[in-house]
A = this chain, B = another copy of it.
Amino acid sequence: MTTYRAPVEDSLFVLNDVLQIQKYNNLPGFADATPDMIEAILAEAGKLAEEVLHPLNAVGDLEGCTWHEDHTVSTPKGFKEAYDLYSESGWGALPFPEEYGGQGLPATLNTAVQEFTMSANMAFSMYPGLTGGAAAALIEHASEEQKQAYVPKMMSGEWSGTMNLTEPHCGTDLGMMRTKAVPQEDGTYKITGQKIWISAGEHDMTQNIIHLVLARIEGAPEGVDGISLFIAPKYLLDADGNPGERNTMTCGSLEHKMGINGNATCVMNYEEATGFLVGKEHRGLKAMFVMMNEARLGVGIQGLAQSEVAYQNAADWARERLQGRSISGVKFPEQKADPIIVHPDIRRILMTIRSFNEAGRAFLLWSSLKGDISRRSEDAEAQQAAHDFMELLTPVIKGVLTDKGFDNTVMAQQVFGGTGYTKDQGVEQFVRDARIAMVYEGANGIQALDLVGRKLPSKGGRAVQAYFKEVGKFCSKHKDNEAMAPYIAPLSKALSDLQAATMWLVQHGMSNPDNAGAASTDYMHLFGLVALGHMWALMAETAQEKLAEGANGSTQFLENKLVTGKFFMERIIPESTTHLVRIQTGCDTMMELDAEAF
């Protein structure tokens, strides 16, 4: 049996003290997010996660979803009740505009809430998560009529949403898409084709399911420039806007997966299903990218979330499990053995995960705040700069937080010894669930390529230069601050490795793009080290300032922060060296063997 405690105190530290979110109360929705309100929301979300969602996590894994001969799908016992509670409490509406039924609160706050629900029950959290992504895409690209027809019911949770991209022969390469849309005289389209990996494609929790589907209008150009986006609701709306006639898409089967068994992963067969064009013809991919970027951020949160819950369970076990004696002398002579947390190698695991989790949380909230600024600020310059950062950092968030998040679940499982390998204990589910986050919404190799191939060169490298400047400025500011030296010196070193790697890419990636491809994953992780190191430096600065001010009872919390950050700087960020060395070896050896030699 696993447990979960929402890290409310840590989230509040980042929001209130590090990011000082109150300073942004000129942005729409931020004024409502007073410190009391934020604390109340996080406490409430934490309670839901701990008491309602986490107890269903193992249930969802064990029972999974069930496909029936009539093409309906049942979700695991308890999921529907939890979903109703989640929806009625308004969690699905938190960051969305009030005019479409949202609550208009900061997306930054929503990120904190999502971490809790995703830690508690990743498979469950995907149902509302996809609905939010679909709603975001509609809000940005659909007609006013479409928005009014669909979004409020998605906000209330009465209807859910999906994202239909992948086909059996095309995952990453959407240009190969075959699903076709035939225009009808009434302005609608008939959609025919098969889509796979459709999370929440069919289930029993909502009255309607709003599918967003990519398809090729007959006669459209080849490749990605011939793809359009459609709304295809499971039930077509009647004259009153309520679910009416059943549309002609069905769930053909469910995938049997390594994990996230509580989520219904559907093969969807569209047979002349009625679809409504969203935005312009052949411009579907751009619209879907709104949803995809939301989803990528969400998947990054999943990486952190699984790492956090795995860490908590490993820490509890390490404190309780008695085995062996401390090598530096018996610590609990009155017991038959010492708890295994006395062993340095157990500490190494716990500190490694913890130092990632706290920085990962800060990185997600810091990035989400940039997202809020980019969407809500009226200052064009600030908005543009924030948008640049979000664009640049989305692949880093998705790729690094899920790669490391998965590694951390594996490390946490190791703390349990053989017990961690049993289904009864439950920590192995975190490993199986976390694994998918490295794959979906663009496999992490694609994130890395997006970073080096698209985001770096975009607008002459404006975003990455601004990022280097921001981190560099912070380092300069503290260059004579002795107390900050343990954080600033390693961060500066990693930043200079990242800059050297970037320079190498500029010099070698244009002449031979395979050099960029060969460097991409190492570059993404090198970037991640700097980004997380930057967060640690920010948190250390805040902790030192608050300790100097007197700290009000949170002295221990702040001192632990400083120790954990120091661990990151001593043991984790030095990996930057190896990444740089690897990047600079280029692609020649990697590409030399014939394909047949493998």
Q: Which residues of A contact B (CB under 8 A)?
A: 166, 169-173, 176, 196-197, 255-259, 315, 318-319, 322-324, 326-328, 336-337, 339, 341-351, 354, 406, 410, 413-414, 417-418, 420-424, 428, 431-432, 435-436, 438-440, 443-445, 448-449, 453, 512-514, 516-518, 520-521, 556, 560, 563-564, 566-567, 570-571, 574-575, 577-578, 581-582, 585, 587, 589-593, 595-598
Given contacts A328-B514, A513-B327, contact A344 B439 (CB under 8 A): no
Query: What CA separation (Å) do A505 and B28 show in the bound complex?
Result: 58
Q: Choose one: B256, B344, B564, B595; the contact of A422 (CB below 8 Å).
A: B256
Whether A417 contacts B439 by the Cβ 8 Å rule is: yes
The 3 closest A-B pairs by CB, nearest first: A344-B517, A315-B598, A344-B518
Residues of B within 8 A of A443 (CB): 414, 417
B435 and A521 within 8 A (CB)? no
Distance of A440 Cα from B424 Cα, bound (Å): 18
Q: Which residues of B contact A597 (CB under 8 A)?
A: 556, 560
Residues of B within 8 A of A349 (CB): 445
Tell whether, in the assembled complex, residue A448 and residue B345 are in contact, meaning their CB atoms are under 8 Å apart: yes
CA distance A256 to B351 in the complex (A): 30
Which of B344, B592, B595 makes the CB contact (< 8 A) with A339? Answer: B595
> In the complex, what residues of B have CB within 8 A of residue A570's CB?
582, 585, 589
CB contacts (< 8 Å) of A516 on chain B: these are 327
What chain B residues lie within 8 Å of A323 (beta carbons)?
170-173, 176
Please tell me which one of the listed residues B318, B421, B513, B592 contacts residue A258 in the complex, with CB atoms under 8 A apart.
B421
Minimum CB distance partner of A259 in chain B: B421
List, in ascending order, chain B residues with CB within 8 A of A166's CB. Answer: 418
**A5 CB, min distance to chain B CBs, angstroms:** 12
Specify how many copies of this chain sit in the oligomer: 2
In angstroms, how far is the closest chain B Cβ from the Cβ of A243?
30
Q: Give the residue name and chain of the B residue nearest to A344 (CB).
A: B517
Which chain B residues border A347 with CB–CB below 8 Å?
518, 590-591
Alpha-carbon distance A431/B434, docked complex (angstroms): 13
Taking the closest CB of chain B, its distance from the CB of A398, in whole angstroms, is 14
Q: Smallest distance from the beta carbon of A287 to chain B beta carbons, Å?
A: 22
Whether B436 and A421, one on each chain, are in contact in the complex, defined by CB atoms closer than 8 angstroms, is: yes
Contact of A517 among B170, B343, B421 (CB under 8 A): B343
* B343:A417 contact, CB within 8 angstroms: no
Bound Cα distance A328, B443 (Å): 20
Q: 14 A-B contacts, Cβ less than 8 Å apart?
A: A173-B337, A197-B418, A257-B423, A258-B423, A343-B445, A344-B591, A347-B518, A348-B521, A351-B593, A414-B439, A414-B443, A432-B432, A560-B597, A570-B582
**A176→B336 CA distance, assembly (Å):** 8
Q: Which residues of B contact A173 (CB under 8 A)?
A: 322-324, 337
Query: Which residues of chain B come closer than 8 Å to A435, judged between CB atoms?
Result: 410, 413, 421, 428, 431
A521-B345 contact, Cβ under 8 Å, with A445-B414, A581-B574, A590-B567: yes
Kindly list chain B residues whose C-beta atoms are within 8 Å of the C-beta of A197: 418
Inside 8 A of A170's CB, which chain B residues have their CB? 323
Alpha-carbon separation in the docked complex, A590 to B420 (Å) = 23
- Could you say which residues of chain B place their CB within 8 Å of the CB of A587? 344
A66 to chain B, nearest CB (A): 16
Cβ–Cβ < 8 Å partners of A571 in chain B: 582, 585, 589-590
